[in-house]
Structure 1
Amino acid sequence: MSALSIRNLWKEYGDQIVLENVSIEIESRAFVALVGPSGCGKSTFLRLLLGQEGQTRGEILLDGVPLPREPGPDRGVVFQRYSVFPHLTVLGNVMFGKELQGSRRAARLFGAARHTVEEEARAMIAAVGLSGSEAKYPAQLSGGMQQRLALAQALIMRPKVLLLDEPFGALDPGIRTEIHVLMKKLWHEAPMTVVMVTHDMREAFTLATRVVAFERPRDRPEERLRYGATITRDITIWPPRQAGQASIFRPDRDGPVASQGQ
C-alpha cells in the first residue's frame, strides 16, 4: 500500500507563509499532478513529501504512519535536472542505490550479492528502454535517455511513492511523448503512488488520475507574506484511470502499455 494523508499542513520560512492549511487524501497507486502558478508552493510541497524539509505544522502520513522527516527508500524522486552521477556508467548509476543500501560504508557489494543486484539493475535498464547502454556514461546519452536513466535509478529502490518535480520539462516534444508512454507503463506495472509537479496542463491531464491546483487565494502584494497557497481545485480525471487496468472507455490511451502492444 502507498496511501498518503496530508492534514492541516503549513510551511513557513520566518515571517513568510508558503503553504497554508493544506489537506488532501491520496489513495494508494494514484497518479496526482500538481499544477499552479510559479512560486505557489508546489515544489515545497513535494520536498515535504520527500522529507527534504519539515513542515511547520500539520502531519503527513504514509499508510497511516507519520512520514519520517528525512528522505528514505520508501520515496523516490526525479527532478527536471537529471540527478544521475556523471562519473558512473548507466549500470553503475542504477546499481548505486542498492549497493549503498547493502553496504553503507563501502557503497559496494561483492560476490553473490553484487550479482543479484546487477541482474536486477539490468532488468530495470531494459524496462526503461536503455538496453545496450549499460557501459555508457551520462554525458554520452541524450536528454531523453538521461531521464530514462533517472527513472530507473529511482524505481530500482521499489519506492512506495515516486515524486516527480517537472521531470520532463526540458525535453523536446517528441521525446517527451515517448517518456509519457514509458511513465504510463511504469505506473501500471509498479505498485507505487506518483505525485508530479508540472506546469504543462496537457501533461497533467494526459498522465494523472487527479489534477490538483495550488494557488494563493489572497495574492495582493501586501498579502503575500501573511497568507500562503492552498489547494483550490481537485479534479478527478474522467474516464477514470486505475493502475494496472485498462479504461473501458479508452483502453488504447489509458490501459497498461504492454498489453496494448506499444
Structure 2
Amino acid sequence: MLEARNLWKRYGDKVVLERISVSVQEGEFVTLVGTSGCGKSTFLKLLLGTETASEGQLLLDGQPVRDEPDSDRGIVFQQYSVFPHMTVLDNVMAARAFARRGLTGYLFGQARREAQGAAMELLHKVGLGHALKLYPHQLSGGMRQRLAIAQALLAKPRILLLDEPFGALDPGIRADMHQLVLELWQSHQLTVFMVTHDLKEGFYLGTRLWVFDKLRHDPQAPDAYGAGITYDLPVGKSDRQTLQAIQADLKEPQHDIQN
C-alpha cells in the first residue's frame, strides 16, 4: 500500500531524516517511537502531505503521495484540533463540509442531512452520543480527543495518522482511548501510523514498531546527519534483549519491560 524509497528530509543544512526505505501493507498498525526531535512527526507530515521529501520517493498504491492532505488520510494531534465555537455535532459535520468543492463548503438539503446522520452515527460509536449539543470547552480532555478522532474518521480515510494523541491524558483515560482506537482500527479497516513517546504503548497498540534514531553522528556538525528507522519489529516477536536495547536508546526505565 505504502512505500518509501531512499527518503530524505532536509530543512536548509539540517538533515532530519535520511535513507528511509520501507513498505507497509494495508491494514497494518505501525507505531513510531524515538527520542524527541528525531523526525517521527516529520515522517507523519510527509505521509499527510503537508511536507514534501527533499530526496527519494513516498508512494501510495504505486503513485507519489499527494503534496496536500486529502480524504485518504486523516490525522489526530495531541492538541485537540476542534473548533471552539461549534457544537460537537457541528465539529464533526464540518469535516464533511470542508471536503466539498466550492466557494463556501456549506452543506445544504440532502447533503446536510446525510452528513448529520453520518456524524451522529460516528459520535455514538466513539461514546459521544450524549454530547451532540455541547461545546468543546464543556468536554473533558478524553472527550475532546474522541471528538477529534470522530472528525478524522467522518471522511472515511484509508490511513489514520495519530501524532502523540494520548500524551496529555490521564492513565485511566488513556486506557479507554487505547481500546477505542483498536476497535475503530478493526471496524473501519484502517491503516494506522501512530507517533508515541511511550514504548510500552507502542508495543500494546501496534502490529509493527518502528524506532527512529540517528545511525551516524558528528559532534562537530550535529545537523549533518538525520534519523532513520533503526528497528522495524513485528509486535510480539521481539526478544527481551532487543527491547532492553531499544529502551536504553530511548533512555526509558528498564522496569517498564514486560515478558
- TM-score of the alignment, normalized to the shorter chain, above 0.5: yes
Q: Are the aligned partners of 1:103 and 1:109 in contact in 2 as well (CA < 8 Å)?
A: no
Deviations 1:82-112 (A, max 9, x none): 0011111100010002122235322221112
Q: Are the aligned partners of 2:218 and 2:224 in contact in 1 as well (CA < 8 Å)?
A: no
Equivalent residue of 1:185, what SS?
Answer: helix
For residue 81 of structure 1, what is the aligned residue in structure 2? 79
Name stretches of at least 5 consecutive residues in structure 1 with no aligned partner.
241-262
- In structure 1, what is the Cα distance between the partners aligned to 2:47 and 2:185? 19
Q: Counterparts of 1:201-240 in structure 2 under 5 Å?
A: 201-238=199-236
Q: Give the letter for the 2:144 counterpart.
A: Q
- In structure 2, what is the Cα distance between the partners aligned to 1:221 and 1:83? 38
- In structure 2, what is the Cα distance between the partners aligned to 1:226 and 1:111? 56
Deviation larger for 222-231 or 79-88 = 222-231
- In structure 1, what is the Cα distance between the partners aligned to 2:227 and 2:10? 11
- In structure 1, what is the Cα distance between the partners aligned to 2:145 and 2:113? 25
For residue 5 of structure 2, what is the aligned residue in structure 1? 7
Q: Does 1:171 align with 2:169?
A: yes
For residue 257 of structure 1, what is the aligned residue in structure 2? none
Deviation larger for 99-108 or 196-205 = 99-108
- In structure 1, what is the Cα distance between the partners aligned to 2:100 and 2:39? 35
- In structure 2, what is the Cα distance between the partners aligned to 1:41 and 1:239? 25
For residue 154 of structure 2, what is the aligned residue in structure 1? 156
Equivalent residue of 2:186, what SS?
Answer: helix
| Structure-1-length-normalised TM-score | 0.88
For residue 253 of structure 1, what is the aligned residue in structure 2? none
Alpha-carbon shift at residue 191 of structure 1 (Å):
2.3
Alpha-carbon shift at residue 221 of structure 1 (Å):
2.6
For residue 181 of structure 2, what is the aligned residue in structure 1? 183
Q: Are the aligned partners of 1:215 and 1:231 in contact in 2 as well (CA < 8 Å)?
A: yes
For residue 244 of structure 2, what is the aligned residue in structure 1? none
Deviations 1:117-153 (A, max 9, x none): 1000000001111011000000000000000000000
Q: Does 1:39 align with 2:37?
A: yes
Q: Are the aligned partners of 2:31 and 2:206 in contact in 1 as well (CA < 8 Å)?
A: yes
Q: Are the aligned partners of 1:17 and 1:228 in contact in 2 as well (CA < 8 Å)?
A: yes
Q: Counterparts of 1:59-98 in structure 2 under 5 Å?
A: 59-98=57-96
Deviations 1:33-65 (A, max 9, x none): 001111111111111111111110111111111
- In structure 2, what is the Cα distance between the partners aligned to 1:96 and 1:211? 33
- In structure 2, what is the Cα distance between the partners aligned to 1:137 and 1:55? 38
Q: Are the aligned partners of 1:218 and 1:224 in contact in 2 as well (CA < 8 Å)?
A: no
Q: Are the aligned partners of 2:46 and 2:52 in contact in 1 as well (CA < 8 Å)?
A: yes
User: What's the RMSD between the two structures over aligned residues?
Assistant: 1.3
Alpha-carbon shift at residue 225 of structure 1 (Å):
1.7
Match of 1:111 among 86, 109, 112: 109
- In structure 2, what is the Cα distance between the partners aligned to 1:84 and 1:221? 42
Q: Are the aligned partners of 2:83 and 2:136 in contact in 1 as well (CA < 8 Å)?
A: yes
Equivalent residue of 1:222, what SS?
Answer: coil
Alpha-carbon shift at residue 219 of structure 1 (Å):
3.1
Equivalent residue of 1:18, what SS?
Answer: strand
Q: Give the letter for the 1:38 counterpart.
A: S
Alpha-carbon shift at residue 158 of structure 1 (Å):
0.6
- In structure 1, what is the Cα distance between the partners aligned to 2:11 and 2:71? 27
Q: Give the letter for the 2:15 counterpart.
A: I
Q: Are the aligned partners of 2:210 and 2:231 in contact in 1 as well (CA < 8 Å)?
A: yes
Equivalent residue of 1:33, what SS?
Answer: strand
Alpha-carbon shift at residue 220 of structure 1 (Å):
4.2
- In structure 1, what is the Cα distance between the partners aligned to 2:192 and 2:102? 27
Q: Give the letter for the 1:182 counterpart.
A: L
Alpha-carbon shift at residue 185 of structure 1 (Å):
0.2
Number of corresponding residues: 238
Equivalent residue of 2:128, what SS?
Answer: coil
Q: Give the letter for the 1:129 counterpart.
A: G
